[in-house]
Structure 1
Amino acid sequence: MLSSSFEKPVRVWVGLGFPRQLNTVADAYQFAVDWCGNSPEQKAAIRACKAALAGDVDSETARGIFVAFARKKDILVEDEPMPFGSGRASPRHV
């Protein structure tokens, strides 16, 4: 199994709003497997990461699908900072 690094790491919110950086396909795969849930986006992220680990797709394809999963679950740390006064008090709100 290959564990390719992403060109740009993916950052996700974990726990009580702490960011976690995922640098490789293996990191993203483990995160998606450990995530509590069973959504179609999560399943797609797991399949894409498995395919990348097997060398069937490139790591950036898996990254894109993982990012879509993280965005859908509202755990993706977006690159641009939140503007002051945006109404969002913390990184994670539920």
Structure 2
Amino acid sequence: MLAQFFEKPIRVWVGLGFPRQLNTVVDAYQFAMEWCGNSPEQRAAIRACKAALSGDVDAETARGVFTAFARKKDILVLDGEMPPESGDTRSVHA
């Protein structure tokens, strides 16, 4: 697997409101695989990352699908945003 970097990293909230930066498709894939749950958005993010890793889609396509998953779970860090008061940040280690 070659590291496929995103044009712009994705930042997500983990643990007790700590940001984690995902720079590559592999980072996003590992995060989605470790996430507790089995939502349609999570499964789509995993499939998109797998497709990017196999060369079927580009890294930015996988980034878009992963970003939609993170947004749906309220863990996507937006520029200048503070940690969520009560978000779904329970599942991945920082």
Structure 1: any 5+ residue segments left out of the alignment? 83-89
Deviation at 1:60, TM superposition (A): 0.2
Partner of 2:76: 76
Is 1:93 aligned to 2:85, yes or no? yes
Partner of 1:6: 6
Give aligned pairs, total: 86
Q: TM-score, normalised by structure 2?
A: 0.87
Identity %: 78
How far apart are the structure 2 equivalents of 1:7 and 1:41?
A: 22
Given that 1:6 and 1:25 are in contact with CA atoms closer than 8 Å, whether structure 2 keeps it comes out as: yes
Q: Which has the higher contact order (CA 8 A, sep 6+)?
A: 2
Is 1:15 aligned to 2:15, yes or no? yes
Larger radius of gyration: 1
Given that 1:25 and 1:63 are in contact with CA atoms closer than 8 Å, whether structure 2 keeps it comes out as: yes
Show structure 1 runs of 4+ deviating over 3 A.
none
* 3-state SS of paired residue (2:75): coil
Q: TM-score, normalised by structure 1?
A: 0.87
Partner of 1:63: 63
